[in-house]
Amino acid sequence: MAQIVLGVGSSHSPMLGTPPEHWGLRAIEDKRGKHPYRDGIYAFDELVELRKAENLATQITREVWNARHEKNQQCLDYLGKRIAEFKLDVLVIIGDDQGEVFLHDNMPTFAIYTGQKVFNKKASKAHLEALPAGVAIAEWANEPAECDMEHPGAPELAEQVIDRLKEDGFDVSVSSKTPVGRFGDSGIPHAFGFYYHRILDDLKDCPQMATLPVFINCFFRPNQPSARRALNFGKSIGAAIRSWGNEQRVGIAASGGFSHFVIDEELDRRVLKAMEEGDEETIVQQPDYFYQSGTSEIKNWIAVMGAVSQAGLKFRLIDYVPCYRSLAGTGNANTFGLWT
Ligand SMILES: [Fe+2]
Surrounding ion ligand 1 within 5 Å at CB are 256
Gap from CA of 194 to ligand 1 centroid (Å): 10
Gap from CA of 81 to ligand 1 centroid (Å): 22
pLDDT in tens, the chain (340 residues): 999 999 999 999 999 999 999 999 999 999 998 999 999 999 999 999 999 999 999 999 999 999 999 999 999 999 999 999 999 999 999 999 999 999 999 999 999 999 999 999 999 998 899 898 889 999 999 999 999 999 999 999 999 999 999 999 999 999 999 999 998 877 999 999 999 999 999 999 999 999 999 999 999 999 999 999 999 999 999 999 999 999 999 999 999 999 999 999 999 999 999 999 999 999 999 999 999 999 999 999 999 999 999 999 999 999 999 999 999 999 999 999 999 9
The hierarchical CATH code for the domain 32-248+267-339 is 3.40.830.10
Q: How many CB atoms lie within 10 A of CB 70?
A: 12
Gap from CA of 90 to ligand 1 centroid (Å): 23
Gap from CA of 13 to ligand 1 centroid (Å): 6
Chain centroid to CA 263: 16
Gap from CA of 43 to ligand 1 centroid (Å): 21
Gap from CA of 295 to ligand 1 centroid (Å): 9
Q: Where are the alpha helices (DSSP H) in 16-93?
A: 25-30, 44-50, 62-85
Gap from CA of 245 to ligand 1 centroid (Å): 34
Q: CB-based contacts of 289: which residues, under 8 Å, 6+ apart?
A: 36, 38, 39
Q: How far is 206 from 52, CA to CA, in rounded Å?
A: 47
Gap from CA of 257 to ligand 1 centroid (Å): 7
Spell out the domain ranges in the chain.
Answer: 32-248+267-339
Q: At what angle do helices 227-242 and 155-167 cross, to 10 degrees?
A: 120
Provide the pLDDT for residue 186.
77
Q: How far is 332 from 18, CA to CA, in rounded Å?
A: 12
Gap between the terminal Cα atoms of the chain: 19
Q: Count of alpha carbons within 13 Å of 278, Cβ hemisphere only?
A: 10
